Amino acid sequence: MTTLSTRRLATAAAILVTTSSAFANNLCQHLGVDPASLTNGQMFMETSAGWQPFDSLAAYDIRSRTRLHFAYVVRSNSDNDRSGVLVIKSNRPAKQTDKDAVTKRVLLTRQGVSADPGCPPLDYLPNQEAYVSTDAYVDYHDYPARDTMALRRNDDGKTIYRFHFSYRSGVKNGCVRTDDQSYDAFPLNWNSNRAQTSYDSTVVATGSYSVVGLFIPAPSPLEGSADHRTEFKKYSTSGTLSCTEFYLPADSADYSIRINDLEGRELPPSNRRLPEQRWPR
């Protein structure tokens, strides 16, 4: 009986491994490429000719407001699977005909996001999205400020706080908020989750400015741009691989896209964050 039970357990384990392997191999198959060839940070766009590697919208004919479909590749740098949150930021150069409603506000959206087990529930946002002023967005993420006129106006500060949420972090070994501002490794690494939501490349790479900078602020990274949109998407790898899909409304070929993986880290012993992925390259 013991031998038979042992064999049954071994067979069941083999089936489980085979099934998991097959699932991992089939993951991202819709992209039309060998999943084994995919690397972390690649992005694809669905076109009339199927999924194509994405370098720039300039390669496509976009004449009117179009809902574009993308797939972003997350590949774990170890044999262990991981989950996390992507910050997807997009905008375009402003036009002379753009109104303030397009240039001076940011759309915050988190469609399809749910709370991780054991983490606090998400705060309420109507239809899971909201607009805030560009000034409030910069004050909150780039400095980060607790209270400014921009954050108080229309309760934008409260709206931004509700937009952010807690998720289960493998790096932090527990629930952590997407706007967590604790340093990655004080005093040598001043970066944080909150800094990754900035449109300022310096803040993303090295961490938020000091609140003292509010008195002599750096030029706004959103100045001269329009159609600002920040989206959160959660992912979970299987067989070390995940293809996270998202949609982007676009009305021209001038859009830039930036993606930050809040859980992405360099290979040990470094704990530094993976660099922001940007398109056009």
Give the pLDDT confidence of 172-196 residue by residue, as tens digits. Answer: 999 999 999 999 988 888 999 999 9
Q: Write down the number of H helices and E strands in the chain.
A: 7, 12
| Cα angle 159, 276, 66; round to 5 | 65
Across the chain, mean pLDDT equals: 89
Residue 16 located in a structural domain: no
pLDDT for residue 25 is more than 50: no
Residue 239 located in a structural domain: yes
Considering just the CA atoms, what is the radius of gyration of the chain in Å?
21
Residue-number span of the structural domain to which 100 is assigned: 38-279
Residue 273 located in a structural domain: yes
Residue 24 located in a structural domain: no
pLDDT at 27 (0 to 100):
72
pTM for the whole structure: 0.89
* Number of domains composing the chain: 1
pLDDT at 109 (0 to 100):
98
Indicate the DSSP class of residue 220: P
pLDDT for residue 232 is more than 90: yes
Residue 160 located in a structural domain: yes
Closest CA to 130 of 155, 150, 147, 148: 155
pLDDT at 20 (0 to 100):
35
What tokens appear for 265 in the block? 């880290």
Closest CA to 269 of 83, 84, 77: 77
Residue 1 located in a structural domain: no
Residue 22 pLDDT class (50, 70, 90 cuts): very low
Residue 216 located in a structural domain: yes
pLDDT at 60 (0 to 100):
85
Q: Is residue 51 a contact partner of residue 71, using CB atoms and an 8 Å limit?
A: yes
pLDDT for residue 131 is more than 70: yes
Q: What is the CA 27 to chain-centroid distance, rounded?
A: 20
